[in-house]
Copies of this chain bind each other. A is one copy, B any other.
Amino acid sequence: MSPVIPAAPARPRGAARREALLQAVLTIVAEVGADAVTHRRVAQAAGLPLASTTYWFDSKEHLLTAAIELAADRDIARIRALVEDRSDGEDPIALAVSGLLEPLDDERPGSRTSLLAAYSLLLEAARRPALRTIASRWSEAYTRGLATLLEAAGSRQARADAQLLMAAYDGLLLEQLAAGVSANLSSRLRRLTRALLESS
């Protein structure tokens, strides 16, 4: 009879390691910041040896880029599903505010950090052209989704309104993050949406 060894956490192997490493990157970016992403930290967070990071990714740059791409793709899929699965009777504005803008706000415990991650990555994109494609794709998905909903709500310039609304949302969120407080944004967003819809 072999001695009882507490089961190791079942290290992922093969391509699953790639995924695990990327997830670790995202966690670190969210919790500590993009600068804190080091090979050693990522490996430890993923429960893998240091060398696995350089085996699956050519460089730290590549590692970061892939992680951002993963985050973007996930969120874009969420947005698409949300807009496409809308039942016909549903109020598009309520859906826009509650589904597209607010869900990141406060309910999930890690949402604050994941928001921080997203904005950090956005700023990174400002400095690294390689990331801009992803950033553009990401924000385009939001704009498009929001515009679809606004159009259903009767906006005559849905796309422009969507851009303004989204920008306002980003700005409000950013300020909240920076101030460390956590207020409810939806009433303000609703007022803004109303104002935009009314004013032709």
A154 contacts the other chain (Cβ, under 8 Å)? Answer: no
A114-146 residues with Cβ-Cβ distance < 8 A to B are 116, 119-120, 122-123, 125-127, 129, 132, 135-136, 139
The 0/1 profile, CB within 8 Å of B marked 1, for residues 158-200 of chain A is 0010011011111110110111100000001001101110110
A35 contacts the other chain (Cβ, under 8 Å)? Answer: yes
Among A119, A136, A180, chain B packs the most CB atoms within 10 A around the CB of A180
Task: Tell me how far the C-beta of A113 lies from the nearest C-beta in chain B, rounded to whole angstroms.
Answer: 9
Task: Tell me how far the C-beta of A10 lies from the nearest C-beta in chain B, rounded to whole angstroms.
Answer: 33
Among A33, A116, A194, chain B packs the most CB atoms within 10 A around the CB of A33
User: Chain A interface: which size bin?
Assistant: 35 or more
Contact B171 A169 (CB under 8 A): yes
Chain A contacts to B: CB under 8 angstroms: 32-33, 35, 116, 119-120, 122-123, 125-127, 129, 132, 135-136, 139, 160, 163-164, 166-172, 174-175, 177-180, 188, 191-192, 194-196, 198-199
Extra pairs beyond A123-B178, A170-B171, A191-B199 (10, CB < 8 Å):
A33-B127, A122-B177, A139-B175, A139-B179, A166-B171, A167-B170, A168-B192, A171-B174, A195-B196, A199-B199
